[in-house]
Structure 1
Amino acid sequence: MKVVACTWMLFSMCLLGHRLIVYGEADEGQVLNNFLDSRLSRKPSPVMRLPAPFDVDTDSIQPQDGSMEADKISALPGQPDGVDFNLYSGYVTVDSKADRALFYYFAESPENSSTNPLVLWFNGGPACSSLIGAMAELGPFRVNNDGKTLSRNNYAWNNGQLPFNRDERTLHRIPGRSRLFVFKYDLGLSSMGDKSTAKDAYRFLINWLERFPQYKTRNLYFAGESYAGHYVGNGWIDDRTDYLGRYDYLWTHALNSDETNKGIHTYCHYFNDTDPEQCAKFINKSRIERGKIDWYNIYAPRCQLNSSSSDSINGFDPCSNHFISSYLNRADVQTALHAKVSAWDICNLKMYRGWTDKATTILPIIKNLMANGIRIWLYSGDLDSIVPVTSTRYAINKLKLPIKTAWRPWSTDEEVGGYVVEYDSLTFVTVRGAGRLVPSYQPARALAMISSFLGGALPPPVLIQNKNRR
C-alpha cells in the first residue's frame, strides 16, 4: 500500500476506535471545551514526537471472525431509493488476546470504485464518535428530522463532482474530481490516549486491508477534525497557541470583554500561570459573557427541539445530533450496521475522563512529516469558536515556514468560498461561512476543498467575469 499524503495532519497517529460504539451524554464541542478548560491550569504533558519508521510486522495481523462479504450492508432502514454504491460495516480485531476490535463504516464511491483513492475520516472529542461525520457531515446520507429516514447527501465525499446546474464551467474549475472512498469507525470502552490510539489504529488499518485486499494498492489519505488533530485532523495541535487563539477569537468577535481577555492572558497556565484560581474565574466569566450560543457556529441558531419549526443553515439542522442519536439507537439500524451495542451516543464520557496520554503539541510531528515530503492541509471554518481559525494561524506561525503562494480568496461558483495560503509542504485553507463541522454548514465548499487536495492543486481562484456594457 502506498501512503501518499495526510489530508490534514498526522500520519503516524492514524486511526481511532475500539470495540463498542460509544455512549455517554455530551457532544463533540462540549467534550473538547471541557477538556481544554481542564488543562488551562495544569502543567503541560510531554511533547509528542514521531516514532521510528516501522514496516508491517506479523504481530500486527490478527485472527479475524469477519469478512468483506459478511460486512456488506444490504440496505439501511429508511434509506432513499437509487443507492448506487456499496456500504460495509463491522468489526476488525486489533488485539485477539484482549478481545478488542474496532468498528468501521465504509461507503464506496458510485463510479470508478476499482481505482479511486481511500479516504479515512476521524472525529475528535477526544472519545467522540466518527459516525458524527458519517451522518451529519460528509457521509452519503443525512438523517431526516423524523429520526427514522435518510436522505441522500449530494455533496458526500464519496462523490467527486460538485452537483452544480447553473454553470457547467464551474465543474471544470474543480480539480481532482475523482470519487472518494470514505470509511469511519468508533470508540469503545478502554483506557485510551494518544499513543494507544496510534497502536490500535495502525493494527486496525493493517487488518482492514487484509479483509479488503483490493485497496492495498490505492492512494491513502487521512482527514478529520477537532481533537483528531492529534492523530490526523484540523484542530487541536498545539496547546499554547490553541488556547491563545481560542480566547482571542472570542474577544475579536465581540463575544468577550477586554477585561476578560486580559485576565485570561494574565492568569491562565498556558499564558503565564500566575494564579490558577484567577484563571478559573476569568474562564467562567468568558462563558457568561458569550452567553448561550452555538459554539460550533457563533452565528447559527441553537437547537430548539420543542419549536414548531427548526431553523437551518444551508439545509443543516442544528438539532441533527438528536435525530442521529434517535436513528442509530433503533434496533433495526444497529442490526443493519452489524453493531453489537445496546445504546449509542455521540461521545463516551467515561473514556474521555480516562484519556491520560495527552501531548502538549504535535508540531514536531508536522515538521517531520513535511521534511519527509508528506503533503499536509489544515482547514478551519471561520465561524468556529472552539478551535478557531486564529488558533490554527498561531500554530502555523510557530513553524516559521516560507510562503510559497500568498494569501488569496478561492471560490466554487463565482463566489468567495474561503481563503488559502500555501507554504512548503503545508497549506492552510479557511471555509467562509462554515462552523466547526465544515461539511455540514458548507457542503459544496467542503467538497471543493477536498477535491482540490486530491487533485494536487489549490482551491480554484475567484474568477472575475468582464461583461460588456451597452
Structure 2
Amino acid sequence: MSTFNWICNIFLIICNIAILHLISCSTSFSSDPHNQQQLDRVSKLPGQNFNVSFAHYAGYVTVNKESGRALFYWFFEADDENPSSKPLVLWLNGGCSSIAYGLAEEIGPFHVEKDGKNLYLNPYSWNKAANILFLDSPVGVGFSYSNTSSDLLSNGDKRTAADNLEFLLKWFERFPQYKGRDFYITGESYAGHYVPQLSQAIVGNALTDDFHDHLGVFQFMWSVGMISDQTFKQLNIVCDFQSFVHTSENCVKALEIADHEVGDIDMYSIFTPSCTANFSSLNHPWRRKSVGLLRRAYDPCTEQHSTVYFNLPEVQEALHVRTTNSPSKWETCNDMVNENWKDSPRSVLNVYCELLHTGLRIWIFSGDHGCCNSVTSTGTALMLLNFQQLARGALVGGWTQEYEGLTFVTVRGAGHEVPLHKPKQALTLIKSYLSGQSMPKLELVSDL
C-alpha cells in the first residue's frame, strides 16, 4: 500500500462502531411517496440464484434541489414473519460507500462471490434482528451524486449531517410505515463523526477524538512490533495534537517511515493475510457447521469482488441507479471527496456527552486486531469522559466496560470491520444492544 493511501486510510478509520438509539420522530420517479416506494422495490438481482422472503428497496432521495444533490440508499426489511415488529437501523460508513462495506462484506444479507458476478446469502445478516437501511453519504460516495461538481470539493461534517437529516425526513415520507418505529443509528470508521452529529441534529435542533486516536494507533503499532522504537518516538513528537485530516509535512514524513517499516500488512486486520493475486491458494472450501449453516473462510479480497459486481450494468439497472448522474465507474471510496474535506472537529466527545445527557444509549465496539482506530485509541478517548464505571466484564470473545448510558465492547480476533471477521459475534452484539441487554458470555465461545 502506498504511503498516501495509508495516510488516507488512517483518516477514514477514525473510530470503530458507534450505535445510538433514537425514537423516530432510481431511474423512475413518482411525486407520490407510496408509488415511489414501489418503484424503488428490487425484484431479483443478477447473480442471485436463491430466493428470499424479505423485500428490499433501492433508489435515490434528493437532499438539495438547487444543486441536485441526491443520496443513494438500499433498504432491507427484516428477515422475519412480521418485519413491522422489528426496529429500524441506519448504517453509515465513514468516507466510503456503505453499500461496499457495511452491506456487501459485513452486515448485509447479500455478499459477493469471488467471481464478482454472483451473490450468496450471509447467515449472520443484521436484518435477522432489524430492518436495515444503508446510505451512501456524502455526495460523491458510491452511487450518490450531485449535479453541481463543486459539491464534491466542499463536503464536510456539517453539510453531511444536514444532508443525512434531510435524507431521513424525506425517506420517512416515502416509507411512512416506519414513522414512530424505534430507530437506531450505527456506523463504522469516520461514521464515529457522522453518527453522533446526525443524532445531535435530530434531537437538538468512532472518530471520537483525533489526538487520542493518533496516540492509540502509534502505541498499538509499536506494541505489536510493527514499527521501531525510534519511529514510535518520532511519530509522537511530530504528529502530536494534529488532525488526520490536515497533517503537517513532518508528520507525513514520519508516517512514510512507519509505512515502510510496516510493510505488506493489512492495517485493518494485522493478523490476517492481505489481498494478493495468489490469495486464492490460501482459501478453504465451504465448511459445514454443526448448526447446519454454511459459511465461507475469511477472504481479504471482498472489496475487489464488490467493485466488479457493482460496476455491472445489469446490477446498476436492477438497483435503479441513475447512470447519467452517478460516476461512470463505481468505486468503494472517492479520493476527491476525502482529499477536499472541509470541516472536521478534532473531537466529538462533547457531542457524546450531550447525547448521553438526553437519555440516549450508546454502544461503541472495537476489534482488537485492527491497527487503525485500535482498542487503545478508543479506550483512551473514552477515559476522557470521566464517567463512573458501572461494570467491567471479561468475555471469552472479548470484554466490556459499562458506564452510565455508554458501553464499550471489544471483540477478540476481529479487525477494524468487526462483522467481516467475526460475523456471529457481531450479530450477537446487535441483538444484545437492541434488546437492552448486556453482552452474554457464552454466546461468544464459538469462534467461527
Decide which of 244, 252, 258 is 1:286's aligned counterpart. 258
Q: How do residues 333-412 of structure 1 correspond to structure 2 at under 5 angstroms?
A: 333-341=315-323, 342-406=328-392, 408-410=393-395
Runs of 5+ unmatched residues, structure 1? 1-24, 38-54, 57-61, 160-178, 411-415, 466-470
Q: Which residue is equivalent to 2:59?
A: 90
Kindly provide the CA deviation profile for residues 168-208 of structure 1, in whole angstroms up to 9, marking residues without a partner as x.
xxxxxxxxxxx311111214332210000011110100000
> Is 1:422 matched up with 2:402?
yes
Cα pair 1:121 1:130 within 8 Å, conserved: no
Mapped to 2, the partners of 1:86 and 1:35 lie a distance apart of 32
Quickly say closer, same or farther: Cα 1:445–1:30, change in 2 above 3 A: farther
Decide which of 117, 131, 134 is 1:184's aligned counterpart. 134
Aligned residues, how many?
A: 390
Quickly say closer, same or farther: Cα 1:26–1:223, change in 2 above 3 A: farther
Mapped to 1, the partners of 2:159 and 2:132 lie a distance apart of 23
Displacement of 1:258 after TM fit? 1.5
Q: Which residue is equivalent to 1:328?
A: 310
Cα pair 2:428 2:443 within 8 Å, conserved: no
Decide which of 374, 393, 415 is 1:435's aligned counterpart. 415
SS across alignment from 2:85: coil
Decide which of 236, 240, 243 is 2:214's aligned counterpart. 243
Decide which of 246, 261, 268 is 1:296's aligned counterpart. 268
Quickly say closer, same or farther: Cα 1:307–1:442, change in 2 above 3 A: closer
> Is 1:131 matched up with 2:100?
yes
Mapped to 2, the partners of 1:464 and 1:354 lie a distance apart of 41
Decide which of 59, 67, 85 is 1:115's aligned counterpart. 85
Task: Give me the TM-score of the superposition, normalised by structure 1.
Answer: 0.77
Decide which of 73, 82, 86 is 1:104's aligned counterpart. 73
Runs of 5+ unmatched residues, structure 2? 15-23, 141-150, 197-205, 285-294
Q: Which residue is equivalent to 1:454?
A: 434
Quickly say closer, same or farther: Cα 1:30–1:445, change in 2 above 3 A: farther
Letter of the aligned partner of 2:264 in structure 1? K
Kindly provide the CA deviation profile for residues 404-454 of structure 1, in whole angstroms up to 9, marking residues without a partner as x.
112x223xxxxx121111001110000111111110110000000111000
Quickly say closer, same or farther: Cα 1:357–1:464, change in 2 above 3 A: closer
Mapped to 2, the partners of 1:131 and 1:429 lie a distance apart of 24
Mapped to 2, the partners of 1:71 and 1:26 lie a distance apart of 41
Quickly say closer, same or farther: Cα 1:297–1:246, change in 2 above 3 A: same
Q: How do residues 9-88 of structure 1 correspond to structure 2 at under 5 angstroms?
A: 31-33=8-10, 67-88=36-57
Task: Give me the TM-score of the superposition, normalised by structure 2.
Answer: 0.81
More helix by share: 2
Mapped to 2, the partners of 1:198 and 1:282 lie a distance apart of 33
Q: Which stretch shows the higher mean deviation, 297-306 or 241-250?
A: 297-306
Quickly say closer, same or farther: Cα 1:28–1:120, change in 2 above 3 A: farther
CA-based RMSD: 2.9
Greater RCO structure (CA 8 Å; 6+ sep): 1
Mapped to 2, the partners of 1:303 and 1:88 lie a distance apart of 31
SS across alignment from 1:309: helix
Displacement of 1:352 after TM fit? 1.2
Q: Which residue is equivalent to 2:184?
A: 221
Q: Which residue is equivalent to 2:203?
A: none
Mapped to 2, the partners of 1:388 and 1:440 lie a distance apart of 16
- Give me the identity figure in percent: 40
Quickly say closer, same or farther: Cα 1:27–1:454, change in 2 above 3 A: farther
Quickly say closer, same or farther: Cα 1:26–1:227, change in 2 above 3 A: farther
